Amino acid sequence: MDRIKIIGGNKLNGVIPISGAKNAALPLMIASLLTADRLTLKNVPNLADVNLLARILRNHGVDLAVDGKRPGTTPHLGETFHLTARDIVDTTAPYEMVSRMRASFWVLGPLIARMGQAKVSLPGGCAIGTRPVDLHLDGLKALGAEIEIDAGYVIAKAPRGGLKGGRIQFNKVSVGATHQVLLAAALARGETIIENAAREPEVGDVAECLVKMGAVIDGIGSSTLRIQGRDRLEGAVHAVLPDRIETGTFAYAVAATGGDVTLEGTRMDLLETALAVLPQIGATVTPTNNGIRVVRNGKGIEPISIETQPFPGFPTDLQAQLMALVTTAHGTSVIRETIFENRFMHVQELARLGADIRLHGDTATIKGVPKLTGAPVMATDLRASVSLVIGGLVAEGETMINRVYHLDRGFERLEEKLTRCGAAIERISAG
Indicate whether 363 and 316 sit together in one domain: yes
Indicate whether 51 and 101 sit together in one domain: yes
pLDDT of 203 reads: 98
- The last residue of one of the domains, among 179, 204, 228, is 228
Strand 398-402 versus strand 376-378 pairing type: parallel
Per-position DSSP letters for 100-141, written without gaps between them: T-GGGGGGHHHHHHHHSEEEEEPP--S-SS---SHHHHHHHH
Least confident window among 101-105, 205-209, 218-222, 321-325: 101-105
User: Residue 242: which pLDDT band, with cuts at 50, 70 and 90?
Assistant: very high
The alpha carbon of residue 334 and the mean position of all alpha carbons in its chain are separated, in whole angstroms, by: 24
Indicate whether 159 and 60 sit together in one domain: yes
Least confident window among 124-128, 284-288, 398-402: 124-128
- The last residue of one of the domains, among 228, 253, 275, is 228
DSSP one-letter code for 160: T
Indicate whether 194 and 267 sit together in one domain: no
- Could you give the 3-state DSSP secondary structure of residue 175? helix
The total domain count for the chain is: 2
Indicate whether 92 and 125 sit together in one domain: yes
User: What value does the mean pLDDT take over residues 201-226?
Assistant: 98
Q: Which residues, in sequence order, are CB contacts of 387 under 8 Å at separation 6+?
A: 320, 321, 323, 324, 346, 350
CATH of the domain at 275: 3.65.10.10
- Could you give the 3-state DSSP secondary structure of residue 90? coil
- Classify residue 236: in a domain, yes or no: no
Indicate whether 213 and 265 sit together in one domain: no
Backbone dihedral angles phi then psi of residue 196, each to the nearest 5 degrees:
60, 35
* Measured distance CA(48)–CA(70) in Å, rounded: 23
**To the nearest whole number, what is the mean pLDDT of the chain?**
94
Indicate whether 48 and 145 sit together in one domain: yes
- Check residues 25 and 74 and name the one with the higher pLDDT: 25
User: What value does the mean pLDDT take over residues 156-174?
Assistant: 96
The alpha carbon of residue 424 and the mean position of all alpha carbons in its chain are separated, in whole angstroms, by: 26
Indicate whether 339 and 290 sit together in one domain: yes
Indicate whether 411 and 370 sit together in one domain: yes
Percent of the chain with pLDDT over 90: 84
Catalytic residue set: 126
pTM score of the predicted model: 0.94
Q: Would you call the peptide bond into 94 cis, given omega within 30 degrees of 0 as the criterion?
A: no
- Classify residue 238: in a domain, yes or no: no
User: What value does the mean pLDDT take over residues 194-200?
Assistant: 98
User: What value does the mean pLDDT take over residues 362-381?
Assistant: 95
Full domain range(s) for residue 375: 3-15+243-428
Per-position DSSP letters for 314-342, written without gaps between them: B-GGGHHHHHHHGGG-SSEEEEE--S-TT
Instruction: Pick left, alpha or beta for residue 102 (phi over 0 → left; psi -120 to 50 → alpha; otherwise beta).
Output: alpha
pLDDT at 145 over 70: yes
- Classify residue 235: in a domain, yes or no: no
pLDDT of 152 reads: 87
Decide if 14 contacts 257 (C-beta within 8 A).
no
What residue type is assigned to position 423 of the chain?
A: A
Burial letters 225-263, b for 16+ CB under 10 A, else e:
bbbbbbeebebbebbbbbbbbbbbbbbbbbbbbbbbbbb
Indicate whether 147 and 38 sit together in one domain: yes
Least confident window among 70-84, 215-229, 263-277: 70-84
Say how many Å lie between the first and final Cα of the chain, rounded.
Answer: 8
Q: Which residues, in sequence order, are CB contacts of 29 under 8 Å at separation 6+?
A: 41, 44, 50, 53, 54, 57, 81, 83
- Classify residue 234: in a domain, yes or no: no
- The last residue of one of the domains, among 174, 202, 228, is 228
pLDDT of 68 reads: 80
Indicate whether 267 and 381 sit together in one domain: yes
DSSP one-letter code for 33: G
* Measured distance CA(32)–CA(35) in Å, rounded: 6
Decide if 346 contacts 387 (C-beta within 8 A).
yes
Least confident window among 11-15, 244-248, 342-346: 342-346
User: Residue 73: which pLDDT band, with cuts at 50, 70 and 90?
Assistant: low
DSSP one-letter code for 404: T
pLDDT at 124 over 70: no
- Classify residue 338: in a domain, yes or no: yes
Indicate whether 248 and 332 sit together in one domain: yes
Percent of the chain with pLDDT over 70: 96
Least confident window among 69-78, 246-255, 274-283: 69-78
- Could you give the 3-state DSSP secondary structure of residue 180? helix
* Measured distance CA(54)–CA(46) in Å, rounded: 11
- Classify residue 135: in a domain, yes or no: yes
User: Residue 431: which pLDDT band, with cuts at 50, 70 and 90?
Assistant: low
- Classify residue 86: in a domain, yes or no: yes
